[in-house]
């Protein structure tokens, strides 16, 4: 698939799209939209795997880079949950037709939950991989030391001190403050579509108990959690990817 660009009121999104055998508006096949994680792009293992499997199955598929990520113009540190939520809405509204299966990884799972809440009539199912709603508050802000909070408030950003220098990704005060207007756990989550959650029990970024918390919080009664005992946060082994595809295939 070639990279195309979607113009927004403010900014541009890079995306790749393939149209299924029946087309996005026809037949009984839903399309698939992939939402990547924090600081990731559409060339990741899971995105490429889904693109291939959807092509083999004649399904429409869209993957894209949030503004400031990957091939989308902008500064990563200007990104917020609110801004990237607008990106996901634009992709769904302008690049897809008919029912869609939303696959969200980590932060993309948070955005996917927001998307499913905003466009319930368009969502066939939501599949989450190590879903991390409210991570900025629950997993970052609440776990910062006093010194880290001082640095964040003073400099506007902090870095993971344990990460290798080449992989230190900033967490901005702007994102944390903006995210408080988009928290999932702070109010009822009206999602009624089927939900499937894939979660590793050795995930160091998102505790596996998070999946149970999500399942209890959303309105849908059709929720299933698959725990992978040796699974990490990425869940990108061939076995993990096969599990993911079986979840997608279950809604085709």
Q: Is 182 a catalytic residue?
A: no
* Residue pair 82/8 in contact by the 8 Å Cβ criterion: no
Q: Is 60 a catalytic residue?
A: no
Q: Which entry of 40, 60, 105, 106 is annotated as an active-site residue? A: 106
How many Å apart are CA 234 and CA 199, to the nearest integer?
A: 10
3-state secondary structure 218-241: ECCCCEEEEEECCCCCCCCCHHHH
DSSP 5: E
**Non-local CB neighbours of 3 within 8 Å, separated by 6+ positions:** 14, 15, 16, 71
Q: Which of 158, 117, 116 is nearest to 136 (CA)?
A: 158
Q: Is 217 a catalytic residue?
A: no
> Strand pairing partners for 171?
158
β-strand 171-172 against 157-158: which pairing, if any?
A: antiparallel
How many Å apart are CA 114 and CA 130, to the nearest integer?
A: 16
How many Å apart are CA 78 and CA 175, to the nearest integer?
A: 8
Please state the separation of Cα 175 from the chain's center in Å.
16
Residues annotated catalytic, as ranges: 106, 203, 233
């Amino acid at each position: 698939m070639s990279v195309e660009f979607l113009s927004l009121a403010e900014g541009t999104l890079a995306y790749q799209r393939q149209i299924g055998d029946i087309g996005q508006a026809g037949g009984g096949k839903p399309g698939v939209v992939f939402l990547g994680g924090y600081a990731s792009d559409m060339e990741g293992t899971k995105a490429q795997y889904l693109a291939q499997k959807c092509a083999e199955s004649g399904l429409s598929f869209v993957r894209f880079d949030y503004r400031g990520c990957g091939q989308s113009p902008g500064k990563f540190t200007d990104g917020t949950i609110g801004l990237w939520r607008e990106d996901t809405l634009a992709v769904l509204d302008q690049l897809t037709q008919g029912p869609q299966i939303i696959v969200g990884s980590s932060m993309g799972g948070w955005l996917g939950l927001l998307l499913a809440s905003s466009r319930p009539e368009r969502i066939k199912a939501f599949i989450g991989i190590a879903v991390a709603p409210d991570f900025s508050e629950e997993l970052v802000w609440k776990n910062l030391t006093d010194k880290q909070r001082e640095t964040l408030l003073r400099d506007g950003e902090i870095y993971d001190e344990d990460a290798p220098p080449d992989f230190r990704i900033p967490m901005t005060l702007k994102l944390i403050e903006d995210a408080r207007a988009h928290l999932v756990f702070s109010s009822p989550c009206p999602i009624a579509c089927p939900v499937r959650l894939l979660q590793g029990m050795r995930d160091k970024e998102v505790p596996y108990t998070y999946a149970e918390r999500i399942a209890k919080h959303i309105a849908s009664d059709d929720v299933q959690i698959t725990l992978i005992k040796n699974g990490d946060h990425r869940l990108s082994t061939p076995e993990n990817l096969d599990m993911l595809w079986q979840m997608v295939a279950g809604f085709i």
